[in-house]
Structure formats: C-alpha cells, structure tokens
Chain A
Amino acid sequence: MTRIHAAIVGLALLASGGAAAAHHSFAAEYDANKPVTLKGTVTKVEWMNPHARFYVDVKDEKGVVTNWNLELASPNVLTRNGWKRNSLTIGDEVTIEGSAAKDGSKMANARVVKLADGRQVFAGSSGGDAPPPARP
C-alpha cells in the first residue's frame, strides 16, 4: 500500500504542479520563501477535514507566549501515510519547520514536526512543494 500510495502521491504532485494533498493552492496561502522554525508545547490537535491542524504555544525570548496554528494534510492522507489521530498529543514538546502564512497571521504549513527526543511525526504536509524530510 505504502509504495503504491507513494508513487501515486508523486503522480498527483506532477498533475497538480505541487499541491499533493491540499484542496487549495499552497502557494496562495503559504510562502515557501518564508521558512519558520517554531519550538513549543502542543495545546490542541484537530484531526479534522479538510486539513488536520495542531496548535502550539511558542514562547519568545521575553517570555511572551504566542499560539501558532499549524496546518497538515487531511486526516485521510495522514492515515494512509501511517499516522494516527493520537500520533501527536496535547503537552508534546515539538519543533516545527514550515512555511508561514502570506497574510502574516500566526499560521504555518508544517513540513517537519520533531518531538523532543528527535523523532519526527506527520511528514505528510499539505504543501507539495515542501521537500521531504531528510533521512536520519
């Protein structure tokens, strides 16, 4: 299943010009040239359509906490890639690499999500132009 699916995701990438798992244009919402790295604590997980999302409290150097909204692929795409609704849970300490929203809101498309011990979860981003995570 995985290999077939992967090949098909690749074909979908070709067909769509980049948005493998999204129901809208990635480039219209997120800026691939505005990479962000966020570190914080998961406060909420929405395993819902059209995109799974999770929220993270990020503390800046002055101690001010901002809640970020991180977009993933749809639950179905994530499920087919092997993730589960509880792969990430409230309280997890995570580091996220992604692309920030063009409109300047505290939103980003999460490309890489790393747990405190270095394990990666949710590699199925909704932004097809995001490179796959590096091999460990």
Chain B
Amino acid sequence: MMRTTTLALALAVGALVVASAQQTPPAPTSPAGAGGLNRGPAIPQGPAPRLPNGKVDFGGVWQGGGPVGDIRMGLAKGETIPIRPEWQAIMDKRMSKEDPEANCLPTGVPRRDPYPWRILQTDTHTSFLFEGNIHSYRQIFMNGKHPDDPDPTWYGHSIGRWEGDTLVVDTVGFNDRTWFDFIGHPHSDKLHTIERYTRTNLGTMTIETTVEDPVVYTRPFKITFTARLRPGEELMEYICNENNNWVGNITGPAKDF
C-alpha cells in the first residue's frame, strides 16, 4: 500500500515536471482525487506580506532564484555574456569533477542549487539558510558598511538596504574559488554583486543581480531569476560531505552540461 501511494506521488511529480516544463502556470489544485495525484496546495496567490514595521516580509522557504546549470539563462533576450577570451579559454578547460559544488563547497553568489532555502529577517540582519549544497548560510548586514580590506570569503561581505519595497544587497570580498554554474563560468576576487530582491507577490520573488568583475568580464551584466515560495515546507538536514566518494568518476568537461 505504501509503495502504491508513493508510486502515485512519483507519477504526479513526473507528470507535472512535463507540464511545468511547458511553462504553464500551476493550476490551483483540487482535493485529493484521481488516485491522490492532485494533492497539495497551489502556489499561493495574493500580495506580498508586510512586517509590522511596514517593510516587505521575505520570510519563508524558497526554491530557485539564481543560476544552476548556465548563468546565461538569466540574461535578457538577445544579451550575451561579456567574458574575456582568455577566461573563456580557462572555462573551456574546466572539468566537471573540479566544480566546487560537486565537491560539497559553497555556491557563492549569485549561483543557487536545486535545494530549498529560507529567508530570516530582522532589523539588523537578513539571513539566508541554505538546505543544500552546502548546508550553510549567508548573512546580510542591514545598513552596514563593508570593511576596508575584507578577507576573501566564499559568500563575500554583504550589506543590505531598502529601495522602496526592494531589498538591495551589495557584496564584495569574494574569493575566486566558486563557479557561477555547472558549466564553469569563472570570476575573480574582484567580483562585486548587487542583488535586488523584489517579492512581486505572495508566492514569487524576483532576484535581479548585477555582476561586475573587470578582471573576467569586459562590462557589468545583469541576470534575473525567479524564486518560488514553498508553503508548508521545512528545511531538512543535508550534509553533502557525508558520502561524496564518487566525484572522481565524473569524467566529462564542465562545458558538456
């Protein structure tokens, strides 16, 4: 019985993956029926909620919001990525087994992964808790100031401010060890990102990121991704390093993704 139920769930997932791949908006769900294939809440509709202080409340568990496979998927139509040829050559030689993400190291910014994450908001800090890869966090100092000479880190040093209902996050002080995506788009430790988080409605958040890195890219460029709320979801433990013993078997070049 258990296996029958779980099979039905899995089939529902499969069917909906196909449906959503056609970019149709998710239909409101009906109560359990059709063998339990249509269970679960729809993505909630309605305006973005607000905190008692009047600011938009970003709190909740979200999915997506940044590049996973290829950062170019976030470019505006017709745009190209302004990578310098010598860095394109470096990228083309990268092997997938060298991807920091495959080695259970942080994604950095603006990369995301296929795991849910939670936003926690206070007057002084905005925090992102990442379930996966890796089980880590980012902290954004509200109305803070960058240190004069920050030590290079995986997520950099982030300060946040409000522009109307948009949370603007400015980050410097990155190391040069993360990739922007599976295919290995590189950056240097001169990377500077400006992320603009806008909760366009209850269930949707747009994240527009300006990427500046004069060492690797000839000009700043903008990417936009959308995160979706996962109502009722909780983060689970995910310790990537627990059993990552087969990364050496990944033989292909990163660009083959």
Decide whether A and B are members of one complex.
yes
A24-B10 contact given A12-B64, A49-B243, CB 8 Å threshold: no
Q: Is the CB of B20 within 8 A of A11?
A: yes
Q: Is the CB of B9 within 8 A of A81?
A: yes
A102-B3 contact given A6-B13, A24-B96, A50-B240, CB 8 Å threshold: no
Which partner residue on chain B sits nearest A23 by CB separation? B133
Q: How far is the CA of A115 from the CA of B257 in the complex (A)?
A: 32
A76-B115 contact given A4-B231, A28-B250, CB 8 Å threshold: yes
Which partner residue on chain B sits nearest A107 by CB separation? B249
Q: Which of A15, A71, A132 contacts B14 (CB 8 A)?
A: A132
Does A55 sit within 8 A of B, measured CB to CB? no
Q: How far is the CA of A3 from the CA of B250 in the complex (A)?
A: 32
**Neighbouring A residues of B70 by C-beta, 8 Å:** 17
Q: Is the CB of B236 within 8 A of A76?
A: yes
**Neighbouring B residues of A123 by C-beta, 8 Å:** 7, 10-11, 13-14
Least CB distance, B92 to chain A, in whole angstroms:
14
Does A121 sit within 8 A of B, measured CB to CB? yes
Q: Is the CB of A50 within 8 A of B243?
A: yes
**Neighbouring B residues of A76 by C-beta, 8 Å:** 115, 131-132, 236-238
Does B42 sit within 8 A of A, measured CB to CB? yes
Interface centre among A15, A17, A18 (most CB of B within 10 A): A15
Which partner residue on chain A sits nearest B114 by CB separation? A12
Does B244 sit within 8 A of A, measured CB to CB? yes
Q: Is the CB of A6 within 8 A of B233?
A: no
Does A29 sit within 8 A of B, measured CB to CB? yes
Least CB distance, B29 to chain A, in whole angstroms:
5
Does B18 sit within 8 A of A, measured CB to CB? yes
**Neighbouring B residues of A8 by C-beta, 8 Å:** 63-64, 228, 230
A-B contact count (CB 8 A): 233
Q: Which of B6, B101, B132, B228 contacts A11 (CB 8 A)?
A: B228
Q: Is the CB of B68 within 8 A of A16?
A: yes
Q: How far is the CA of A87 from the CA of B15 in the complex (A)?
A: 21
- What 0/1 readout, one digit per residue, does chain A (71-100) give for beta carbons within 8 Å of chain B? 100101101011110010000000000000
Q: Is the CB of B41 within 8 A of A4?
A: yes
Does A40 sit within 8 A of B, measured CB to CB? no
Does B99 sit within 8 A of A, measured CB to CB? yes
Does B215 sit within 8 A of A, measured CB to CB? no
Which partner residue on chain A sits nearest B183 by CB separation? A25
Q: Which residues in B have some Cβ–Cβ distance to A below 8 Å? A: 2-7, 9-21, 23, 26, 29, 38-43, 63-64, 67-70, 73, 95-97, 99, 101-102, 104, 112-115, 131-133, 182-183, 225-226, 228, 230-233, 236-244, 246-247, 249-254, 256-257
> What are some 18 contacts across the A-B interface (CB < 8 A)?
A1-B41, A2-B39, A4-B26, A4-B230, A9-B13, A15-B64, A18-B257, A20-B114, A24-B247, A24-B250, A25-B254, A25-B257, A29-B252, A50-B244, A76-B238, A84-B6, A101-B249, A103-B251
Q: Which residues in A have some Cβ–Cβ distance to B below 8 Å? A: 1-29, 46, 48-51, 53, 69, 71, 74, 76-77, 79, 81-84, 87, 101-103, 105, 107, 115, 119-121, 123-124, 132-133, 135-136
15 more A-B residue pairs beyond the given contacts A4-B43, A7-B20, A25-B102, with a C-beta to C-beta distance below 8 A: A1-B232, A3-B41, A4-B26, A7-B16, A8-B64, A11-B228, A25-B182, A28-B250, A28-B251, A29-B251, A76-B115, A82-B5, A123-B11, A123-B13, A132-B14
